[in-house]
């Protein structure tokens, strides 16, 4: 009986340890893309300086749900599918003018649905949302040679 209890406790300790490892790693996706550009929790953004300790401010450039992205020293390219929850969440935290602008952007994204984006790191210009055809044309005109693994 005692042997069964020890085995039971060891298996529960193992499960507890694995669960803690999973939970500790669930504080969001984050990747630096160079030039203060970042991928964070499904968005592409640019860091904003001036946050306090533990505060990580950034400007969202390509909204939530970026599924694939790639980058080099000059460009960031991304493939994104819009989420209705994103616009509903953002509307609650911005002014009416910004909410109207975001709504217009969201309508464009929904009309394209499978959206492609290009961020030029040199001048900060954002191309998008683009259809796949316009994305390829824009990449060609910019001489952007990045690919998206889809």
Domain boundaries, the chain: 2-142
Burial of 115 from C-beta contacts in 10 A (0-12 / 13-18 / 19+): buried
- Name which of 3-7, 26-30, 54-58, 84-88 the model is least confident about: 3-7
The answer to whether 33 touches 52, Cβ cutoff 8 Å, is: no
pLDDT for residue 85:
87
Radius of gyration of the chain, Cα coordinates, nearest whole angstrom? 21
The answer to whether 34 touches 73, Cβ cutoff 8 Å, is: yes
Up-side HSE of residue 9: CA atoms within 13 Å toward CB?
Answer: 6
pLDDT in tens, 101-138: 989 999 999 999 999 999 999 999 999 999 999 999 99
Q: What is the band of 69 on the pLDDT scale with cuts at 50, 70, 90?
A: very high
- The pTM of the full predicted model, rounded to 2 decimals, is 0.76
The answer to whether 24 touches 37, Cβ cutoff 8 Å, is: no
Could you give the residue ranges of the DSSP H alpha helices within 1-150? 2-24, 84-91, 96-112, 132-142
**DSSP, res 124:** -
């Amino acid at each position: 009986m005692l042997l069964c209890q020890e085995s039971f406790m060891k298996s529960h300790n193992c499960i507890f340890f694995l669960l803690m490892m999973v939970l500790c790693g669930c504080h969001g996706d984050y990747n630096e893309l160079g030039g203060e550009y970042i991928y964070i929790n499904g968005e592409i953004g640019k860091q904003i300086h001036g946050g306090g300790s533990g505060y990580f401010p950034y400007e969202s450039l390509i909204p939530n749900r970026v599924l694939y992205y790639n980058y080099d020293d000059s460009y960031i390219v991304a493939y994104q599918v819009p989420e209705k929850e994103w616009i509903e969440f953002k509307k609650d935290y911005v002014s009416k003018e910004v909410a109207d602008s975001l709504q217009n952007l969201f309508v464009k994204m929904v009309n394209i649905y499978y959206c492609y984006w290009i961020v030029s790191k040199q001048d900060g210009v954002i191309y998008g949302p683009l259809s796949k055809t316009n994305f390829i044309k824009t990449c060609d005109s910019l001489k952007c040679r990045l690919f998206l693994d889809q």
